[in-house]
């Protein structure tokens, strides 16, 4: 009976340890924008019909997921990954608000373009970004006065069929797709002078159609060279 009691105690102890380990793994899992996840608290960001899920600020995780970009600021160190911002806290990391004024090389994998006062803002996870050509990056900015904001560009709509469809033939992750699209956009814009993030493409009206087509061809060539099917 004594041996049976010891065996039962060891089994109970093992079960408890496994349960705690599973709970810790869930609590320390990483996050991505997109569909709902199990685990720590999260919310849907429905502003501007963005409709993506993100972890609540203040949530703790054990490690920053993905290939994070690290920023050192006078107020501390920040990590940027998948459109989510983190700061070190004890042995782990805490989800925080994006630091205003920082520049990031690529937009979040999921973002919504919002036109405010004729200028494009890129929105995701309660954060606004604007393109700064002098810094060759996207700046985190404070919330603008979005009265009259629209997800429709204040310019003539592109011709039917101008929308590009991109398929990751090599199974590229959402983060990798965002990075590749951004790099191809920079290259295509530099080659053609056309920038679709600017009203009218940033070109003279009589050049719009021709340079838009050139930009699209450059984007297709660049993306196909990186392992995508682009149409």
Residue ranges in the chain modelled with pLDDT below 50: 1-2, 8-9, 11-30, 32, 156-162
Q: What is the pLDDT of residue 174?
A: 67
How far apart CA 80 and CA 97 sit, in angstroms, is: 11
Clarify whether residues 39 and 79 are in a common domain.
yes
Indicate whether 54 belongs to any domain. Answer: yes
Clarify whether residues 46 and 91 are in a common domain.
yes
Indicate whether 200 belongs to any domain. Answer: yes
Q: What is the pLDDT of residue 29?
A: 39
The SS3 call for residue 71 is strand
Q: How many domains, the chain? A: 3
Q: What is the pLDDT of residue 11?
A: 45
Q: What is the pLDDT of residue 141?
A: 94
> Phi and psi at residue 47, in whole multiples of 5°?
-65, 135
Indicate whether 89 belongs to any domain. Answer: yes
Contact 96, 78 (CB under 8 A): yes
56 burial class (0-12, 13-18, 19+ CB within 10 angstroms)?
Answer: exposed
Q: State which residues form the domain around 14.
A: 1-27
Q: Can you give the C-alpha Rg of the chain in angstroms?
A: 23
Indicate whether 153 belongs to any domain. Answer: no
Indicate whether 143 belongs to any domain. Answer: no
Condensed to tens digits (0 to 9), the pLDDT of residues 158-190 reads 443 345 678 889 988 766 776 787 788 878 889
Clarify whether residues 23 and 34 are in a common domain.
no
Indicate whether 48 belongs to any domain. Answer: yes
Indicate whether 144 belongs to any domain. Answer: no
Clarify whether residues 176 and 209 are in a common domain.
yes
């Amino acid at each position: 009976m004594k041996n049976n009691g010891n065996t039962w105690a060891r089994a109970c102890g093992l079960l408890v340890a496994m349960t705690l380990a599973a709970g810790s793994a869930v609590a320390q899992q990483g996050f991505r924008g997109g569909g709902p996840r199990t685990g720590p608290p999260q919310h849907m960001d429905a502003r501007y019909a963005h409709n993506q899920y993100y972890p609540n600020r203040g949530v703790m995780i054990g490690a920053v997921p993905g290939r994070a970009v690290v920023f050192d600021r006078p107020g501390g160190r920040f990590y940027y990954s998948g459109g989510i911002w983190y700061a070190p806290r004890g042995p782990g990391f805490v989800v925080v608000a994006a630091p205003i004024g920082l520049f990031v090389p690529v937009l979040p994998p999921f973002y919504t373009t919002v036109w405010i006062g004729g200028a494009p803002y890129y929105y995701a996870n309660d954060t606004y970004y604007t393109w700064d050509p002098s810094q060759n990056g996207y700046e985190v900015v404070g919330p603008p006065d979005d009265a009259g904001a629209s997800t429709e560009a204040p310019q003539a709509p592109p011709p039917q069929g101008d929308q590009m469809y991109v398929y990751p033939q090599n199974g590229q992750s959402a983060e990798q797709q965002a990075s590749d699209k951004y790099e191809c956009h920079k290259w295509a814009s530099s080659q053609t002078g056309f920038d679709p993030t600017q009203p009218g493409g940033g070109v003279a009206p009589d050049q719009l159609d021709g340079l838009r087509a050139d930009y699209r061809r450059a984007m297709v060539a660049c993306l196909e060279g990186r392992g995508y099917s682009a149409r």
